[in-house]
Structure 1
Amino acid sequence: MGLSSTVEATRTAPSKLRKLFSTKKANFLNGIQSKENFKDYIRTPGSRDDLKDSKWSWSNEDLLPTPPEKRSWGYWNYFFLYFSWSMDNWTLGSTMIGIGLNWWQSILVIFGSQMISSIFQAINSRCGAVYHIGYPVVSRSVFGMYGAYYVVFARAVLAVVYYAIKLYVGSSFVVNMLRAVFGSHFTDIPNHIATSTGFTTQQMLAFFLYWLIHIPFTLLRPNQLSWVFTLKMCTIPPAYIGLFIFCMANTKGKMGNALPRSASVSSSEFSWFIMYAINAGIGNTANSITNQPDYARWSTDRWAVIIPQFIANPISVTISSTFGILATSAINNVWGLELWNQWDLLDEIMTRYWRPDVRFAVFLCAAAQALLVLGTNIAANMIPFGSDSSMLLPRYINITRGQFLGLCLAWAVNPWKILYSATTFTNFLGGYGLFMAAVVGPTCVDYYLLTKGNVFIPELYNGSKSNPYYHYTKGWNINAYVAYIAGISFPFAGFIGTLGAKGVSEVATNMGHIGWLLSYFVSAFVYYVMCMIFPTPVQRVVKERGLGWESLSKQEPEFIEGLPEENESGLEKGEGMVRTQPVESSSELEESKEIK
């Protein structure tokens, strides 16, 4: 998709959305007319019983490979996604400085870590871009039909917690907007919430409003959301540049002693600082690395997801974090404050310059920031949780229902409480990425080194014992789980140390500081060794048939009914192929009218 078509799609999005919501409303009203209609309505299109005596389904339309007509994300779409998403890193510099680096070391490490992160993202996106399947289905190919449930559930838990936290962060900008518009009429609202909650009545109102804004987006699939990131791309760079210029002009660029300097440490300790900082930079994008198949499956081209993010991600993260370091250092020096978060900075600007023009500028900047966080929340948390939910209960939950479920669960997470007082839990979330790194490691090794990029797609929807490739040992790939346990065991002691455990050695602490990298490479290495000793069924088939690199991807996906039969390529008819259209259901009317 070219730039002009991308912009045009953004212009026409509102009218298409109105049609979509009208269709959804009509289907809902039809579904509540009778008991039979309701049964048809709640059952997801594309779900089916894989065995006649089974009450479980292994597929629905969101688990099946993305059909060609919905592969609408081109190079520009992915560039806008990664560039606008990565701009949400104003405070990353403070993380690096807290580790012990000075300002220029922080900038260099951030750029280097994001280049490394882009490599991991590119590697993990390939399977999704080639076979157009998401993270849950890719996990089945490596961890087994039943073994995948754990790794999918683990990601879902992380996604819903971060979903709630990002909602709270975004609502902080809504507080700025409400204060800018209503002034004391908003700030003087009596607070009826206990201080120990870490929440005020004003913040509760802002959180609720921001929560409401998310509802329409939960009703859309990823292929219908590309316009959001185009809109972000048009709004957030001017907002960031404007805020940066204000900070530098207001302070005349006087950094003073506020510009961070590196700590005085030995060369050995400094080396660990650098490794710690690189790991922190990669960990900052750990969600994106894990979630790559969920984005790549919508691509029009196998390279459309890789090339743009190699350009957008490192540049965008480095620019936004550099702005954060320089702007807040100057403000803190001249104003004598400790401000790192943008919403605190915007609030202080209004306090010092309570004028209509300043309030209007703050409103626009806060609105752009709220949109930035919304888009990040959609890509990093809403879509992954919806995707995971569609696998955990495929007959009744598709990706849109899962996204709405995640939005509802945000209230149960109590993100304000987590950020206010739950330091241990916050540290736990910060280190949770090592558990996902141990999933990504075996996944990449399996695809690139062991199976030569060959995936037997139909068998990823066959949960019976007759599955010749992915049933493994009663549905669990023991090799993958041995590698997973090995991957998390090395940095685990250091991870426990961050939660307040006593008696953790310096060596263990340092291993914990490079937790994501260590977990990834250890799990990848162990999985490779295990599969050399105990080959998987797919490994054996690839070797026996002499399949080349991604041989199974060269056939256009379609589902061949009936018994398998041999074709000219030596593959059984249907191998590497799956029907991409959902089975007939009363909900097909809705799907046929969705935004392409």
Structure 2
Amino acid sequence: MKTQIEHNGIVVLTEEAAQEVSGSPLWNDDLRPTTRQEHSWKGINFATLWIGMCLCIPSYTMASGMIALGMNWWQAVGTIFLGNVIVLIPILLNSHAGTKFGIPYPVFARLWFGDKGAHIPTLARALVAAGWFGINTWIGTKAIDTLLMASFSSWGNLPGHTAIVFALFWILNISVAYRGPEGIKKLSAVAAPVVGISSIILLIWAFTNAGGWGPILETPSKFETTGEFLKVFFPSLTGVIGFWATLALNIPDFCRYAQSQKSQMVAQSLSLPITMTVFSFIGIAVTSATIVIFGQAIWDPVQLLAKFPPFVILLGTIIIVISSVTINVGANVVAPARAIENLYPKRITFGIGAIITGLFAILLQPWYIMSNFGNYIFGWLGTYAALLGPIDGIAIADYWLVRRRQLHLKELYKPNGRYNYANGFNKNGVYALIVGVVIPVLGLFIPPLRFLWDNAWTFGLFIAIGVYTYLMKNDQSVLKEGEYEQITLFDSKHNSPTEIAK
């Protein structure tokens, strides 16, 4: 029986199949596969999404931590570019699944962990996203609070002024996130050009007023040997990869709306690494110029903005708010809200998931994570990269090596279906995750194996790929030869547009 239709590489359920599983406890309007009409995101939508998310304060200041650790400007920028090119690979590999089958991340995870086991990778991703939500809310709070104090001298004397700003900014983020991915698409379309043009204006101002780029771009590396450089390079590279390792997992949440594989792949390949690299360079160049202009290096764009006239401060505050909200709702709310929703699809909505995400973010104390660059790069980014690398590896291995891009879409929504495994848990996914995490962690306790921890995301990813692929040999959940063709109606000139659109 045909239960799914493939048209130009995109698979949707037939109307009969959708009706059959719509009453399942694993189905709701947010988690169901997208229809043909919902595949409406063009390449420009993915480009503006990434540009809007990349143009944020953490991206601006990322290189500053590396320079503080001894790198020169081009070593820092090169590390950032390489890290983003590396993480782009799993992003594109997982994007394919979301685009082809129109499924969000929690449903994608049912393939490799089972319908109950899927809570393991989705809640792990949710934990990281909630942490990032808190970080960006805190960054935005500090920015607004600082700029208010620069504009109104009495604001700093108001008891609890920072807490007031945090609460209001938190509410703003949750309110925008409540609208879901379509609201995020519209916000990104505004944020990308506004923040991008503002960054270029800031760069021109710095170069003009400093009479050049300043001393940071002339300062040599502090490392005398290659070995000394590599000790900082590898954990820094892992930190850069970890910056977007989160989106590498739940990118199907967005790519499920893509019009085609080509459009999303080209747009993401160009926008992510280029935007991150250029914006990091702008951060370095502007900071270098501040040494000449103000006599000190000002890495924080908020502190820099506070030195301008009130009208410029107002405009800058609006831009920083737009930037912070864009990355927060795009990168840090969708995944955890979907994961929480997946716990009880028939009762928990995306909006409720977004609110719970915001509350949990407060409990993670983002002010501590951002208290110094050591906590940020080595503690926060490095630690969760060690957790997400193996999950990325399992997702890639399952879709590309084990199933070879073929699956029974309807069965993902059946509690006792093909992807239920043993009582809802795929033990092979659990084993691969444990091995992929434990081996890199050994580097924390065994000095000669320190390189494993310094490259935790990379080692975890490849170890999990190997273990999972081996364990899943001849698994009963994998479609047999010819089975995909039996359940799939391939679009041809004989299919009516109405039928294909369903």
Aligned equivalent of 2:455, options 510, 514, 518: 514
Task: Indicate the SS of the match to 1:220.
Answer: coil
With over 3 angstroms needed to count, the CA separation of the structure-2 counterparts of 1:149 and 1:159, relative to structure 1, is: same
2:394 to 434, 437, 442: 442
Residues 421 and 522 (structure 1), Cα distance of their counterparts in 2 relative to 1, 3 Å cut: same
Q: Deviations over 1:60-91 (max 9, x none)?
A: 11111122333321111111111221222111
Q: Does 1:454 align with 2:439?
A: no
SS at match of 2:263: coil
**1:86-485 correspondence runs (5 A):** 86-88=54-56, 89-179=59-149, 182-187=151-156, 189-191=157-159, 201-253=160-212, 255-256=214-215, 259-332=218-291, 335-347=294-306, 349-350=307-308, 358-420=309-371, 427-430=378-381, 431-464=383-416, 467=417, 469-485=418-434
Task: After superposition, give the CA deviation of every residue in 1:422-452 in whole Å (9 maximum; x if it has no partner).
Answer: 9769854321122111111011111111211
Query: SS in structure 1 opposite 2:223?
Result: coil
Identify unmatched segments of 5+ residues in structure 1.
1-44, 51-56, 192-200, 351-357, 498-503, 557-578, 582-596
Q: In the alignment, residue 280 of structure 1 is paired with which amino acid?
A: G
Q: C-alpha displacement at 1:521, in angstroms?
A: 0.9
CA 334–452 in structure 1, closer or farther in 2 if over 3 Å, else same:
same
Flag the structure with larger Rg: 1
Contact 1:390 1:398 in 2 (8 A): yes
Whole-Å Cα distance in 1 between the matches of residues 373 and 273 of structure 2?
31
Give the conservation status (yes or no) of the 8 Å contact 2:72–2:217.
no
Q: How does 1:481-500 map to 2 (within 5 A)?
A: 481-494=430-443, 497=444
1 CA distance for matches of 2:216 and 2:368?
34
Report the aligned-residue RMSD: 2.8
Cα 1:471–1:46, aligned 2, differ >3 Å: closer, same or farther?
Answer: closer
SS at match of 2:420: coil
Asked whether the equivalents of residues 47 and 395 of structure 1 are also in contact (C-alpha less than 8 Å), the reply is no
| Equivalent position of 2:476 in the other structure | 537
CA distance in structure 2 between the partners assigned to 1:580 and 1:134 by the alignment:
19
Give the partner amino acid of 2:406: N
Tell me, yes or no, if the aligned pair for 1:64 and 1:580 is still in contact at 8 Å.
no
Matches within 5 A, 1:41-60: 50=24, 57-60=25-28
The 2-side partners of 1:205 and 1:445 are apart by: 46
Alpha-carbon deviation of 1:546? 6.4
Alpha-carbon distance in structure 2 between the residues aligned to 1:111 and 1:528:
30
SS at match of 2:390: helix
8 A contact 2:137–2:166 mirrored in 1: yes
Q: Distance in 1 between matches of 2:63 and 2:249?
A: 23
Checking the alignment, whether the CA contact within 8 Å between 1:99 and 1:277 is kept in structure 2 is no
Tell whether the 8 Å contact from 1:438 to 1:520 is kept in structure 2 after alignment. yes
Q: Is the 1:418–1:426 contact (alpha carbons within 8 Å) kept by the matching residues of 2?
A: no
Residues 257 and 333 in structure 1, CA contact (< 8 A), matched pair in contact too: no
Q: CA deviation at 1:151?
A: 1.4
Counterpart code for 1:492? V
**Distance in 2 between the 1:259 and 1:345 partners?**
21
| Gaps in structure 2 of 5+ consecutive residues | 1-18, 492-499
Q: How many residues align?
A: 473
Structure with more relative contact order (C-alpha pairs < 8 Å, separation 6 or more):
2
- Bigger CA drift: 439-448 or 86-95? 86-95
Secondary structure in 2 matching 1:261: coil
For residues 94 and 482 of structure 1, the distance between their equivalents in structure 2, rounded to whole angstroms, comes to: 38
Provide the secondary structure at the position in 1 that maps to 2:154. helix
**1:528-581 CA distances to partner (integer Å, 9 max, x unpaired)?**
12223xx22233x333x3658xx967658xxxxxxxxxxxxxxxxxxxxxx999
The secondary structure found in structure 2 opposite 1:538 is coil
Shift of 1:417: 4.5
2:119 maps to amino acid? Y
% same residue: 24
Contact 1:176/1:362 (CA < 8 Å) preserved in 2? Answer: no
Change (3 A) 1:47 1:454: closer
Relative to structure 1, the CA distance from residue 110 to residue 411 in structure 2 (aligned partners, 3 Å threshold; closer, same or farther) is closer
Give the residue type in structure 1 aligned to 2:96.
R
Contact 2:305–2:313, Cα closer than 8 Å, also in 1: yes
- CA deviation map 1:465-516 (0-9, x unaligned): xx2x21222322222222111111121134xx4xxxxxx4433332211111
In structure 2, C-alpha distance between the alignment counterparts of 1:147 and 1:138, rounded to whole Å:
12
User: What is the TM-score normalised by the length of structure 2?
Assistant: 0.86
Counterpart of 1:524 in structure 2 is 465
The whole-number CA distance in structure 1 between the counterparts of 2:80 and 2:207 is 22
Q: 1:434 & 1:225 partners in 2: Cα distance?
A: 28
Question: Contact 2:128–2:246 at 8 Å: present in 1 too?
Answer: no
CA pair 48-429 structure 1, distance change in 2 beyond 3 A: farther
Aligned equivalent of 2:36: 68
